[in-house]
Structure 1
Amino acid sequence: MIRLPNFPLPEPANSQLAGYQHEIDSLPDYETRVKRAKERFSRLNRIGDPTFDIVKATLSKMCVGAQRCAYCEDSLADEVEHIRPKALYPELAFAWMNYLYACGPCNSPKSSNFAVFASETGVPTDVSRRRGAPILPPVSGTPVLLDPRVEDPMNFMKLDLLGTFLFKVTSEPGTVEYQRAKYTIDLLRLNRREALQTARRSAFGDFHAHLTRYAQERARGHAPEHLQHLAQDIQTRQHATVWREMKRQHLLIPELKRLFEAAPEALNW
């Protein structure tokens, strides 16, 4: 996971979302707001709705690669995901900054699962609402889940490029940072899907091959326009986290150190 670029939502979609949110916020009680938020979002979030067509087009531009999921970076992103679930936070059901584009295999297990560091205790608290439970507001607190719209998940975890291609938490156990990273990895099942490990390993080989070609053609004196095309190809591939880790860890991996010495400008891509 990487921090996503934040693009403003074009008008009139931005104003329309604000109008939908005002409609929810004006309802008299929390339970009614939850039910209406779910109902309205389900009705509006369809192909052909002019507002959500713009929402999806803008979210797509923020994705890595060819519209890849903001969480796993592997599968096609085709679901508007609420970072803070609308079933718990109806006041954010139509908040632009609460949206990202995700895939079903990530969005499904996350669903309305959520946890906060409770304001009164500071303890990570699951605020998910179980089926049949009373519809009451969650306890107040700050989110445990990392939010790639406003923070960089790579500040909390790293990818093991030398073996497993699994995410590892970089902070000390027991710290807030450790708890947030571990919760995010576990909730989204980023280390539990073998296919993701395979895909990251393949992406490493792919990035390595493309950078090798770039370095070779740079050494041969190819035209800047051609090199720029090769560079753009590297920067728009899926599994951007793998590329970011290759840059971050290049001094620790001899073969990467040599490659980036041959093309030092690639460290700024």
Structure 2
Amino acid sequence: MAGYTGDIGQAAVPKQRAKQLWKHTTVRRHIHPALRSALAEMAPGLERCMYCGDNQGTDIDHFEPVRLNPLRTFDWHNHLLACSLCNSHLKRDQFPFADDDKPLLIDPTSEDPAPHLHLSLAAGAYIDLTDRGDATIKVFDLNRKILVRGRLNAYRITPLLLDKWRTAFEKDDLAEAEAYAETIWEQPTADVVYAMFHQALTPGAEDIFADASETLALLRDQVIRTGLLGTC
């Protein structure tokens, strides 16, 4: 891909050349499948979209649009797996900047969204903590009803799966435990599971899980955290 980047850099009109190369038959047949396969292995859940975490990732999205930076058209770090809704209908080529000319959208492959976004588990919705969080929620419509419903479903079902995993682990039924682990991590909206484990150890966790003390106990269980997170 470095060769293609060099070609674009030498072109009289880089943006035009970048678009031509990206749509070229050879690239579509050989580069696109390899990129999509690699991104799918890194995506949350079962090849979920790296933006909404709900739909299947079908598209290769350029995080920084080709129109703004054609030299990043074949930059591995600029590629994300996205669903067609987030890529083609919501984000399109939007890429807002702050007053200091820094990008507002959070890059899910290289940044921790926690300083910018807080997931309200009880509401199933994201709350912006910064201008970047606000821009990301708006561009990807992260609080659309179907996503909120999916997060609430994940919040309800995850404690049951955690309990099932622990029971199988205690019985030394490793095959069953592995099956439950896969179900936990491969369900849509896997961001809910990460948020649950994270928020269980934060100050005020008792308030967050005020009506779910058993869930909090499971999330703090050292056997579960070691088995599913690799840490206590």
1:18 aligns with 2:2: yes
Which residue identity lines up with residue 236 of structure 1 in the other structure? E
Distance 1:143 1:200, change over 3 A: same
SS in 2 for 1:256: helix
SS in 1 for 2:102: strand
Could you say which residue in structure 2 is the equivalent of 1:133? none
**Offset at 1:91?**
1.2
Among 40, 59, 65, the residue aligned to 2:39: 59
Q: Is the 8 A contact 1:24 1:36 kept in 2?
A: yes
1:113 aligns with 2:120: no
Among 170, 177, 197, the residue aligned to 1:227: 177
Aligned equivalents of 1:265 and 1:155: distance in 2?
A: 28
Among 2, 16, 24, the residue aligned to 1:43: 24
Could you say which residue in structure 2 is the equivalent of 1:238? 188
Q: Is the 8 A contact 2:43 2:81 kept in 1?
A: yes
Aligned equivalents of 1:55 and 1:159: distance in 2?
A: 30
1:184 aligns with 2:142: no
Could you say which residue in structure 2 is the equivalent of 1:195? 146
Aligned equivalents of 2:71 and 2:169: distance in 1?
A: 52
Give RMSD over aligned pairs: 2.0
Aligned equivalents of 1:68 and 1:116: distance in 2?
A: 27
SS in 2 for 1:64: coil
Higher relative contact order at CA 8 Å, sep ≥6: structure 1 or structure 2?
1
**Offset at 1:224?**
4.0
Could you say which residue in structure 1 is the equivalent of 2:162? 211
Residues matched between the structures, number: 217
1:97 aligns with 2:77: yes
Aligned equivalents of 1:169 and 1:265: distance in 2?
A: 33
Q: Is the 8 A contact 1:45 1:52 kept in 2?
A: no
* Structure 1 stretches of 4+ moved >6 Å: none
Structure 1: which 5+ runs fail to align? 1-16, 123-140, 171-177
Could you say which residue in structure 1 is the equivalent of 2:225? 267
**Offset at 1:185?**
0.8
Identical residues among aligned pairs (%): 26
**Offset at 1:117?**
3.0
SS in 2 for 1:66: coil
Distance 1:199 1:256, change over 3 A: same
Normalising by structure 1, we get a TM-score of: 0.74
**Offset at 1:94?**
1.0
Distance 1:45 1:154, change over 3 A: farther
